[in-house]
């Protein structure tokens, strides 16, 4: 399961709890994973260019104390690794490479924040702040910031989610004109340059993980559609909406085919039969992409949609997610499933998670390694 910390989504339940209360909540989530017979927790340790461990590169995360840069009095990542391993769980450290803030006011960042020290690294877009992926110095810095945790802790994997270049916002453009002018001359167009910036981040990070901690895996959990077949004959039978290749400049299919990463975990957050993006069509597409590559395939599951009255009718059925696992079991490339996210794994609004466990996880799951 994913354990999200950005904006206190799953943990801590609110900022400013005592260290003891934070620790107790964290261990509660790990215990829930064991109770649900899961074998790995993907723990978000760098939510907004800040850290859930004592980092020499970035301030303490705001989600802990409510004040960015304030020492919470303990080491959440170190504790998570130790306590997960004590329970037989893998601990995947989840980083967001480029997101700086869910607002556009640099003055709200702690004064020592690298985004304030290097304002030229930052691009405001869509009501948020991002590091500019087109700057080589940014690419080096975000790797250094992430690798610090890999060197210090026995994490089982480095995990990224779906944020590369930001999701498109209507009527706005991501202002990387100066970086493109300085670094984009050899590329046929800006989109190709942007994709190469992300490709380089992936390749360089993969190499540095192997150097720092050879046993650690590198996994990425992208938005579930690489490209639509109407755009590219190699794409999936999906239509409309975001395409990661074109919109986020993330060539997720290439990373799998070239075996640059150890696992891919596409967020297939749609129900079986959903017209624009059918789970039953996307699983076989991703299975065919992963086949023969050496890159493992896990499927990201939208547990948070189960029982949400705002979602399509299929999500009101407690059996929908269990049907996903049954369908995926027909594709040997699918090595497992990851559930978004920890709060819902615990609360299980309509019993969808309990149904998955009863139908598919009768025995505790073996470690993925």
Please state, in angstroms and rounded to a whole number, the distance separating the CA atoms of residues 353 and 331: 21
Rg (CA), the chain: 20
Q: How many CA atoms lie within 13 A of 342 on its CB side?
A: 26
Please report whether residue 171 resides in a domain. yes
Q: Is the pLDDT of residue 64 over 90?
A: yes
Confidence grade of residue 110 (pLDDT, cut at 50, 70, 90): very high
Give helix 136-152 / helix 190-212 axis angle, nearest 10°.
20
Q: How many domains does the chain have?
A: 1
Q: What is the pLDDT of residue 250?
A: 98
Residue 311 within a domain: yes
Q: What is the mean pLDDT of the chain?
A: 97
CA-wise closest residue to 253 among 222, 210, 214, 217: 222
Residue 328 lies in a domain: yes
Query: Would you say residue 365 lies in a domain?
Result: no
Looking at residues 5-13, what average pLDDT do you find?
A: 98
The whole-angstrom separation of Cα 349 and Cα 342 is: 12
Contacts for 26 with CB less than 8 Å, ≥ 6 apart = 11, 12, 76, 79, 80, 83
Q: Cα 209 vs. chain centroid, distance in angstroms? A: 17
Inside any domain, residue 367? no
Query: In terms of pTM, does the model score above 0.95?
Result: yes
- 221's CB contacts (< 8 A; 6+ apart) are 42, 159, 160, 161, 162, 264, 265, 266, 267, 300, 338
Span 92-99, average pLDDT: 98
Q: List, for residues 335-369, the tens digit of each pLDDT value.
A: 999 999 999 999 999 999 999 999 999 987 676 55
pLDDT in tens, 276-316: 999 999 999 999 999 999 999 999 999 999 999 999 999 99
What residues make up the domain containing 250? 2-360
Tokens of 198: 């992300």
CATH number of the domain to which 11 belongs: 3.20.20.80
Residue 369 falls inside a structural domain: no
Q: Does 368 fall in a domain? A: no
Tell me, yes or no, whether 79 lies in a domain: yes
């Amino acid at each position: 399961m994913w354990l999200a910390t950005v904006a206190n989504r799953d943990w801590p339940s609110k900022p400013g709890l005592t260290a003891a209360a934070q620790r107790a909540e964290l261990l509660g989530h790990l215990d829930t994973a064991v109770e649900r017979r899961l074998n790995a927790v993907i723990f978000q340790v760098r939510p907004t260019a800040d850290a859930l461990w004592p980092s020499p590169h970035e301030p303490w995360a705001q989600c802990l104390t409510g004040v960015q840069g304030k020492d919470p009095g303990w080491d959440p990542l170190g504790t998570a690794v130790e306590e997960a391993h004590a329970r037989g769980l893998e601990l995947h450290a989840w980083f967001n490479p480029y997101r700086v803030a869910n607002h556009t006011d640099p003055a709200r960042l702690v004064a020592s924040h690298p985004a304030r020290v290097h304002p030229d690294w930052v691009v405001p877009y869509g009501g948020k702040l991002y590091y500019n992926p087109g700057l080589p110095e940014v690419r080096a810095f975000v790797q250094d910031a992430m690798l610090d945790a890999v060197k210090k802790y026995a994490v089982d994997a480095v995990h990224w989610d779906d944020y590369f270049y930001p999701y498109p916002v209507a009527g706005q453009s991501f202002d990387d004109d100066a970086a493109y002018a300085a670094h984009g001359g050899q590329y046929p167009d800006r989109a190709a340059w942007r994709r190469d910036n992300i490709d380089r981040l992936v390749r360089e990070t993969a190499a540095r993980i192997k150097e720092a901690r050879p046993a650690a895996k590198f996994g990425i959990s992208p938005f579930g559609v690489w490209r639509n077949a109407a755009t590219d004959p190699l794409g999936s039978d999906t239509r409309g909406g975001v395409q990661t290749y074109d919109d986020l400049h993330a060539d997720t299919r290439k990373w799998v085919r070239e075996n640059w990463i150890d696992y891919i975990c596409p967020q297939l957050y749609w129900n079986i039969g959903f017209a624009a993006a059918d789970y039953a069509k996307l699983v076989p597409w991703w299975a065919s992409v992963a086949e023969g590559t050496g890159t493992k395939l896990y499927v990201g599951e939208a547990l948070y949609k189960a029982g949400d009255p705002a979602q399509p009718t299929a999500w009101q059925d407690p059996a929908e997610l269990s049907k996903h696992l049954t369908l995926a079991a027909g594709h040997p490339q699918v090595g497992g499933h990851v559930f978004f996210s920890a709060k819902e794994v615990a609360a299980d609004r309509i019993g969808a998670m309990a149904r998955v466990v009863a139908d598919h996880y009768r025995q505790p799951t073996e470690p993925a390694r």
